Structure 1
Amino acid sequence: MAAINSGDNQSNRIIPQKTIRKAVISLLKWKKKQISDQESPISGDIDDHIYLLLTLKKIPQKDFTKTPKKITLPHSLITSPETSRSCLIIDDRPKPNSQKLTFDFTDKKIKSLGIPITKILKLSKLKADYRSFESKVELFNSFDVFLADQRVINMLPEILGKVFYKKKKKIPVPVDLRRDGDWKEEIEMGFCCSLLWLSNGTCSVVKVGKFDGMKVEEIVDNVVAAVDGVVEVVPKKWVGVKSFHLKFFDSLALPIYQIDQKDEDMVTDQVKD
């Protein structure tokens, strides 16, 4: 298990930043060598994300696995929200008190707030125009990031299907689009977060960094924030966590935190302090 040290937050007490930094540097060196050996630059088809791999002690109950959890990161995984291709899915179902979101209302609001959204897609149009597998693949490939009204998040796995959800790539980020809400803050936070979708087993992953366009310290900051965010939403918090690893999709997983039975009481005491 990683040594416990003092720090400003709980994850710094459990996982020293130097442990995280060492793992990040090792992974970046590995990826750089891999790309160099291929003698070709990194392409959009290559997954260059660094993942935080979570292993729980027990399989979570179904209540924890129904919807993704937003994990806020200090450094966005999107190089530039202003130039990225983004799709916002809105809930245009009829609602009481004329709270239905129309395309015109949404378009005017995001333009007035200067929010960088490439396409607004109504739920009704999504259901009508993207039924075939081929159309879903086309939609998937057309945008870098998807955001969606949190009121329809539970419906999207069935509508978008395995193209989006099998490999947990480009899963729409839930945002609060109430008419009187702070859309600018919500969508900006949506661009600066990652999603944790707890699996039906003990292992789950969340994106925390990228090889291309991110500095070591930015990735370290994201890992620290992600550990804090993950621990807040998993069953029993730190007590339920068995290990954290960092990895690229195609690399070995480097441990930054592991616990065995003899360490468990020590961690429990630290968490209670």
Structure 2
Amino acid sequence: MVVSRRDRIKEDVVRKAVNALLKWKKKKQKKLYSQSDHEFAQEEVEEEDDGDDFIYLSVTLKKVPTQELTRTPHQILLRHSLLSQDYSSLNCCLIVDGKKITSEAAHKIIKAKGIRFIKQVLKVSKLKSDYKSFDSKKKLYDSFDVFFAVKSVVPLLPKVLGKVFYNKKKKIPVPVELRADGSNWKDEIEKACKSSLLCLSGGTCSALKVGRWALTETEEIVENVFEAIDGVLEIVPKKWGGIRCFHLKFSDSLALPIYEYQQTLQPDDNKVGKVGDGGSGLVGMKRKRAELVEGSGRKK
């Protein structure tokens, strides 16, 4: 029987972590904007935050994921979108292969389906020819709120778009599985707008967005956290057995633990026994760290 995420992770622990992060962010913003020179303060905000106002669910695995899992980003559906609720205000770009779906055909489908927030369609060949330089890629990056890409071209994009898009993974194209006849475009793209991307790295640590400062409320973020955990468990081999810990954080804040895998010791000896149920919150982690410190103190 699969153990429920709410048996492993207490909702109250998640809520406290979210509130602590939002309080920290509010205090930081207030401090920056309280400078006498507002223009200087604004520059400092942009320099320190780099425009990143997302709360991340940090995922630490027990083992490095296989290359198959790291090849493409994984789309995880959230309860609440991290984008503006009014999608019509978004400025989005769709990347197509140019063969099965041409840019001309895409424009016709977008118009017919009323997907008004997609303002431009680009073929991969166009990206290769017109966006070679760092400056041109940066200009493209800054021109749109969100990028979508048909699933077949996603593996090609890291090389084509480069580190401008993939270095911090803040605006990498969201994969969408679009049919050439356009029958599922509206549903798939709106689903992508309510999703977050998990890009498993070549190491054991990865992260995905679950909330956004000044856009999502505390309870919405809490619900997104549990939806994201469900999505992660569907991707990670062995589900809970493959997870070492979960944390919540802003990109520039401390990471607050909400779950850590724990091992139990057999009562008759000091050998590691069966896997424990895991735990959540700071108390269990502090106790474990204290035990590790005491144990290391006995060594000579």
Out of 75, 92, 96, which is 1:86 matched to? Answer: 92
Tell me the C-alpha RMSD between the 2 structures.
Answer: 1.9
Q: Is the 8 Å Cα contact of residues 239 and 267 (structure 1) preserved in structure 2?
A: no
> Does residue 1:75 correspond to 2:85, yes or no?
no
Match for residue 52 of structure 2?
A: 47
State the distance in 1 between where 2:263 and 2:75 align: 30
1:64 to 46, 51, 69: 69
Residue 190 of structure 1: aligned partner: 192
Structure 1 residue 37: Cα displacement: 0.8
Task: Extract structure 1 runs of 4+ deviating beyond 2 A.
Answer: 40-46, 263-268
Indicate which of 248, 251, 273 corresponds to 1:249. 251
Q: Does the aligned pair in 2 maintain the 1:10–1:228 contact within 8 Å?
A: no
Alignment partner, residue 224 of structure 2: 222
- The aligned amino acid for 2:190 is E
Q: How does 1:154-193 map to 2 (within 5 A)?
A: 154-180=155-181, 181-193=183-195
Q: Provide structure 1 residue ranges, at least 5 long, that are not aligned to the other structure.
A: 1-8, 94-99, 269-273
2:228 maps to amino acid:
A
Aligned to 2:261: 259
Aligned length: 255
> With CA pairs under 8 Å and 6+ residues apart, which has the higher RCO, 1 or 2?
1
Per-residue Cα deviation, 1:100-132 (whole angstroms, up to 9, x for no partner): 322222111111111121211122211111111
Match of 1:114 in 2: 114
Give 2:270's aligned residue: none
Paired with 1:62 and 1:196, the residues of 2 have a C-alpha distance of: 14
Gaps of 5+ in 2: 34-40, 266-273, 279-300
Hey, what does 1:18 align to over in structure 2?
Answer: 12
TM-score normalized by the length of structure 2: 0.81
Is the contact made by 2:261 and 2:276 (CA closer than 8 Å) also made in structure 1?
no
Distance in 2 (alpha carbons) for counterparts of 1:174 and 1:83: 21
Q: Deviations over 1:171-193 (max 9, x none)?
A: 10000122244111110011111
C-alpha separation between the residues in 2 aligned to 1:236 and 1:131? 41
Identity %: 52
Quote the residue 1:4 is aligned against. Answer: none
Q: Deviations over 1:64-86 (max 9, x none)?
A: 11111001111111113211111
Quote the Cα distance in structure 2 between the aligned partners of 1:75 and 1:118: 23
**Alpha-carbon displacement from aligned partner over 1:129-166 (angstroms, at most 9, x marks no partner):** 11111111111111111000001000001100111111
Q: Is the 8 A contact 2:196 2:209 kept in 1?
A: yes
Aligned to 2:281: none
Q: Which has the larger radius of gyration?
A: 2
